[in-house]
Structure 1
Amino acid sequence: MFQNLDVFRTAMAMAKHAGHKQAISAQNIANADTPGYRAKQLPEFQETLRGSLIGQRATRAGHLNGQAERSVEVRERRDAMDPNGNTVSLELEMLEAVDAKREHDRALAIYRNSLSVIRASLGRS
């Protein structure tokens, strides 16, 4: 019954994605006044997850056909540009940071609830 617990892997992947998204947002905010800096963004978690469920998975880096850790493509945001060539919008970065926190909280809630289900099925509280 518990041989394949993909829900925990998915929750961990979502938490990692949220952390990476928060780090990119912080980097964008730090470079808000840097002339010529192009803001970066991650694709949504659903897009990154869709690609990782297809194909072979490796459990360690030495495996031949799979990848142990898939890297997510960081995109350049090409929205409105300031006269100095900077594309960072502090308002948009605030929204991205809030979205990353919500995504992380969601991942933790999924993890906790799944753990509660397993404990209940084993007769433990």
Structure 2
Amino acid sequence: MTRMFASQTSALRGVTSDAARSKRRLLAEEQIEFNQLNYKLGKIMVPFMFLAIIGAAVNAFLLVFASINASVIICDHMQYLIIFVSIVYFIVIIGSLEIIARCNLDQMALRLEEIYSASGLG
């Protein structure tokens, strides 16, 4: 998105009309808001990164445990735990991050689309 802001702002840079100045101002405001939102999303994602690291460590432990005890038949609960930690856990983390990002960025994308279509840029 940062490149979009830069390219759209540079496209309007040489134009001296009031409409172009207004569009440049709107783009600058959106870029400031995007940078603030990007910082906020970065802070929100930190706990998810820790959860992913913990999940990877538990997954590695379970795989090592299963390799060492290959001759032992594991119970159904242990099988479900391994499947959960190997697959479902990470899908939940990725899905949560996707939902958070979309909820925060959708409104900004709509406003940018309005600015681009009004200026004839997009």
TM tier, smaller: 0.3 to 0.5
